[in-house]
Chains A and B, each alone.
Chain A
Amino acid sequence: MHMANELLSVPVAAGTLAIAAGGLGLICRNVRQVIAADKLALMGILGAFVFAAQMVNFQLPAMPGTSGHMVGAVLLAIILGPHAGAIVISSVVIIQCLIFQDGGLLALGCNIINMALVPSYLGYFLYKTATAGPFSSLRVSIGAVLACVIAMQVSAALVPIQAALSGVLAVPFSTFLITMLGVHLLIGLIEGLITVAVLGYLQQVRPDVFVDSLPGKVRLSRKAVLITLVIFTLVIGGGLSLLASDMPDGLEWSYAERPDQPDFEAAVSNDSAAIAAVDDFQARYAPLPDYSRRSSAIGETGEAQADISAGWTSFAGVVGSAVTMAAIWLTAWILRKKQLPKA
């Protein structure tokens, strides 16, 4: 669910970058007092573990050819605690952006929020809530699966919301949301199962990894999975059916007045001046293609002429750029050819 640059407008990107940076800064400052220097190497290497873990794939049932793998945000939050877990996963997201170019530079803020901060804290909170009280294997399983599924759903839902706030969605908002939620329901469930299985393995082999958080034996049972699904269905059924009842299509939803959520409306109407300005800007400065709706051409001749001249401009721009690039490449090529015999 790496967000791309193209899904965001600059204000939203800047805002989320600021939130992510602020959040990370706060965590770093607080964690610094808790984490001794000897934890630093462990955190770094567990970040690298997340990368390596993504290579370990396994066959999914009923879908030959596809394979699942683990993301590990909730697992790390359980092992390291939410603060350190959030820092580790954030650094993974940053490296994915900088070294592997997965997710854009502007979208980094969104990606850190969606994939690191939300899953770590929400997942840890859900896991802790579910496992509060006396230890039982069933509770740990349910807690871990539920934490993975719900954390994944929330971060999947954040992607279309951020895109809708940016106002760049061509796809209707509800379609995008439902697709994201559907796909990530499956991913979250598998993540939950593998998390419980790994917890069970670790418990068996190296119980000292969890200092005192897992006193008994963890086993993944069918019952746990079923109960989790029932709980989750109830939550989703109750929550989404209210929301989906008369949802306006697409972007209007984010502009619509919502008396139940006064903050929501205020947040968007703040932006509306800027959005109008951007719309106006885009209408004026869009060079290619200069499209005219055939039905609504009023000053037809004038507009058509403007269209044609603008069309030529964009043509010139593209051809000029192509020629420039070719010239640069050729020059570099010739220079390198000249240099090679000497070296």
Chain B
Amino acid sequence: MHHAYIDKFAYQDSPIHRLDSRVKFIVVLVFTAVVISLPRISLSIVVCYAVGPFTILVLGGIPLRFAFKHILLVSPFVLVLALSCPLYDKTPVTVVFGPFLWQSSLGWVRCFTILGKFIVTMLALIALVSTTRFGDLLTGLQRLGVPKLLIIQLGFLYRYIFVLIDRAHHILRARAGRTLRNLGFKAELKIAAAMLGSLLIRSIDSAERINIAMQSRGFDGSWRTLSKLQIRRTDLLFALMAASFMLGLYIFVRPVLQ
């Protein structure tokens, strides 16, 4: 079966892809924190910060349409939250934007700032995930001190998500092929329970088989990988550039606005 592999671009090659996963992770984390702590009613500075993830996406060769489509997919909750702002905050404000000047309410300003921050932080996260192979990210996280049990768990989970989603698709198709009308809630619930139950049993069974296979190959609960993570000069350069971008923008904007 075919479904879009969310992180299919992680297997490309570019200067961004070759960076150390730890450095990228920390930079994205700090970037997100910086963007979130920006004033709640300043849209323009958020736009300035958008340059960072945008550059990384372009350098990494990630299609922008992919990124924005993905953001749209996860936006409903934030969208509801942002759109409820104008309803509750009707303080009139005058928005001055270069040669333009118009009346608006504080709620709308907040609404757009929330959306702006959401898009910028999501761009940063997409930039991280779609330029880093998940295995490398996990190794990096382990070096950063995440417990090994959790890393193994995440690795297994990532490996089998798409396998099980395929199985769920098979079951769903079988149901669609046999259901011709709405059967009422009770029957629907019963069918869904049987589907979930059989999916669960199949998962448990395949887990048993996988376990036997892994034991016979000497799995003792720890993973050994070939990837050697080491911080190189380019990684330091990237971290330096990212830091100076965030700090520089901050310092540059601050005095002008006082």
**Interface positions of A (Cβ within 8 A of B):** 1-2, 4-10, 13, 24-25, 28-29, 31-32, 35, 37-38, 40-49, 51-53, 55-61, 70, 87-88, 90-92, 94-95, 97-102, 104-106, 168, 170-172, 193-194, 197-198, 200-202, 205-206, 209, 278, 281-282, 284-294, 307-308, 310-322, 324-325, 328-329, 332, 336
Contacts and interface: CB of A to CB of B under 8 A. Distances in A.
Given A4-B118, A328-B54, A41 B95 contact: no
B107 A170 contact: yes
Contact of B150 (A91, A291, A314, A316): A91
Interface stretch (B38-46, B225-233, B234-242): B38-46
Contact of B32 (A5, A59, A282, A287): A5
A200 to B, nearest CB: 7
B193 A194 contact: yes
Given A288-B43, A308-B96, A321-B51, A45 B257 contact: no
Contacts of B147: 24-25, 28-29
B149 A87 contact: yes
A294 B161 CA distance: 56
A58 B51 contact: no
Interface residues of B, number: 117
Interface string B190-231: 111111111111011011101100110001110000000000
Interface string B1-28: 0000011000000000000000000001
Given A286-B41, A289-B97, A314-B97, A59 B197 contact: no
A217 B164 CA distance: 28
Contacts, number: 348
The 8 closest A-B pairs by CB, nearest first: A44-B156, A315-B98, A311-B96, A291-B93, A197-B193, A201-B197, A314-B44, A288-B44
Q: In the complex, which of the residues A29, A98, A308 has the most CB atoms of chain B within 10 Å of its own CB atom?
A: A98
A94 B134 CA distance: 12
Nearest to A313: B256
Interface string B157-171: 111110111011101
B39 to A, nearest CB: 4
Contact of A172 (B77, B88, B256): B88
Nearest to B206: A45
Contact of A8 (B36, B85, B199, B256): B36
A180 B233 CA distance: 49
Interface string B66-81: 0000110010011001
Contacts of A294: 92, 94
A182 to B, nearest CB: 14
A301 to B, nearest CB: 15
22 contacts: A1-B77, A25-B147, A40-B156, A45-B157, A45-B207, A47-B156, A48-B160, A49-B203, A55-B172, A58-B191, A90-B150, A102-B74, A106-B32, A170-B84, A170-B88, A286-B40, A291-B94, A292-B94, A317-B253, A321-B47, A325-B54, A325-B55
Given A47-B156, A56-B172, A322-B47, 19 more contacts: A6-B78, A44-B156, A45-B156, A48-B157, A94-B150, A99-B161, A104-B122, A105-B32, A105-B121, A194-B189, A198-B193, A286-B42, A287-B44, A288-B97, A289-B93, A291-B95, A310-B96, A321-B51, A325-B50
Contacts of B253: 285, 287, 313, 317
A38 B122 CA distance: 37
Interface of B: 6-7, 28-29, 32-33, 36-37, 39-45, 47-48, 50-51, 54-55, 58-59, 61, 64, 70-71, 74, 77-78, 81-82, 84-85, 88-89, 91-99, 101, 104, 106-107, 109-110, 114, 117-118, 121-122, 125-126, 129, 134, 137, 147-150, 152-161, 163-165, 167-169, 171-172, 182, 184-185, 188-201, 203-204, 206-208, 210-211, 214-215, 219-221, 253-254, 256-258
Contacts of A194: 189, 192-193, 196
B228 to A, nearest CB: 22
A61 B188 CA distance: 10
Contacts of A4: 77-78, 81, 118
Given A2-B77, A53-B196, A311-B98, A321 B150 contact: no
B33 A48 contact: no
B203 A45 contact: yes
A7 B81 contact: yes
Contacts of A317: 44-45, 47-48, 253
